[in-house]
Amino acid sequence: MVDLSVDLCSLHMDNPVVPASGTFGFGYEFKDFYDINILGSFSFKGTTKEPRFGNPTPRIAECTAGMINSVGLQNPGVEHVVNHELPEMKKYFHKKVIANVSGFSVEDYAYTCALLDKEEQVGLLEVNVSCPNVHGGGMSFGTDAKSAAQVTRAVKAVTKKPVFIKLSPNVTDIAEIALACEEAGADGVCLINTLLGMRIDIKSRKPVVANKMGGFSGAAVFPVAVRMVYQVAKACSIPVMGCGGVQSARDVIEMMMAGATAVQVGAANLVDPFACKKIIEALPAECEKLGITAIKDIIGVVD
């Protein structure tokens, strides 16, 4: 019997598989597909201080081996999340959950994290400084080491829960940003968010998504994610949550060998709502084939 358990700071998980924020709603939307308690945990939709309608439509462009989204952090706002979404989620998910938080100022991040800090079911805060779809916030914090560190310090000051900073791949040196977060007190980092991309409708000669550009994710970005997880895991001593293009149990194993302690599955959930279930079910046999008895033993094994 393969031991799939991992520890992400104080969060003990039965397995390393975590649906990524923005691809799994608040969890209960998936309750009719399968028992979501089989998941290691999940990261709920990026939450901001105020409710947000999101970007104009169309917001999605299909691509070969991936997709572009320009959702624009649509969410009902942190007060609604605390008063309505979390109580509903709690009926169906009985483990600790990951709260993904976005903001437009350092104060926004701190305000939203302070409210979520009071929620018993929140096991970990995932601070998103990497959304490419909004102006004056999101990725602008995650592409500058000083700003990423500033957000980290502000959030750490309002919570005792582990704080993971979700990093952008749209930088020259992701290890530099990760190190700045670590030095500012981050308990871990999550990477990668989406790559800034664009599609053009060649008949209309217009961008496919209304916001012109959006975040590219899906199978095509997996090698980029593995490379960045590897670089950050080698540079930092805090844990890494890997994310980006994961499709299968073998991808989970590969990302853990690169240095990830837990692995998020994103775009795959949008193609197949059973993606995480299939990955979790396939993991023991894939581990056995490779002689792995405890999955935590493979974290960062690659030199």
Pattern 170-209, ligand SIN, x by CB under 6 A: -----------------------xx---------------
Choices 28-36, 125-133, 146-154, 246-254; region in contact with ligand SIN by CB under 6 A: 125-133
Residue 46 touching ligand SIN (CB under 6 A): yes
> What is the CA 157 to chain-centroid distance, rounded?
22
Instruction: Provide the 10 A C-beta neighbour count for residue 47.
Output: 29
Phi/psi for 161 (5° steps) reads -75, 155
Residues in the chain, total: 303
Strand partners, 165: 127, 189
Inter-residue contact 232 to 238 (CB < 8 Å): no
The position carrying tokens 């952090």 is 73
Q: Select 139 or 186, whichever has its Cβ closest to ligand SIN.
A: 139
What lies within 8 Å, CB to CB, of 141 at 6+ separation is: 103, 129, 147, 148, 150, 151
Helix/strand/coil for 294 = strand
| Interface region with ligand SIN, contact rule CB under 6 A, candidates 66-74, 88-96, 200-208, 231-239 | 66-74
Catalytic residue among 131, 181, 243, 287: 131
Query: Among 137, 162, 188, 215, which residue interacts with ligand SIN (rule: CB under 6 A)?
Result: 215
The candidate with the shortest Cα–Cα distance to 210, out of 142, 124, 133, is 133
Instruction: Count residues near ligand SIN (CB under 6 A).
Output: 13
Query: Which parts of 232-261 interact with ligand SIN (CB under 6 A)?
Result: none
Q: Does 266 bind ligand SIN (CB under 6 A)?
A: no
The CA–CA distances, whole Å, from 97 to 31, 161, 232 equal 15, 12, 24
Cα–Cα distance for residue pair 102/42, rounded to 1 Å: 16
Angle at the Cα of 81 from the Cα atoms of 8 and 213, rounded to 5 degrees? 80
How far is residue 125's CA from residue 161's CA, in Å, rounded to a whole number?
A: 7
Per rule CB under 6 A, is residue 72 in the interface with ligand SIN?
yes
- Residue 296 in contact with residue 263, Cβ under 8 Å? no
Closest approach of ligand SIN to the CB of residue 46, in Å? 5
Kindly state whether residue 73 participates in binding ligand SIN, applying the rule CB under 6 A: yes
Choose which of 128, 159, 264, 269 interacts with ligand SIN (CB under 6 A).
128
Return the amino acid letter for 169.
Answer: P
Residues 137-156 that bind ligand SIN (CB under 6 A): none
Under the criterion CB under 6 A, does residue 27 sit at the interface with ligand SIN? no
**Residue 190 annotated among the catalytic residues of the structure:** no
Which is closer to ligand SIN, CB of 159 or CB of 211? 211
Q: Smallest gap, in angstroms, from Cβ of residue 253 to ligand SIN?
A: 25
Cβ–Cβ < 8 Å for 194, 72: no
Whose CB is nearest to ligand SIN? 131
Examine residue 133 and tell whether it contacts ligand SIN (CB under 6 A): yes
Considering the complex, state which of residue 109 and residue 287 has its C-beta at the smaller distance from ligand SIN.
109
List residues near ligand SIN by CB under 6 A. Answer: 22, 46, 69, 71-73, 128, 130-131, 133, 193-194, 215
| Catalytic residue numbers, as ranges | 131
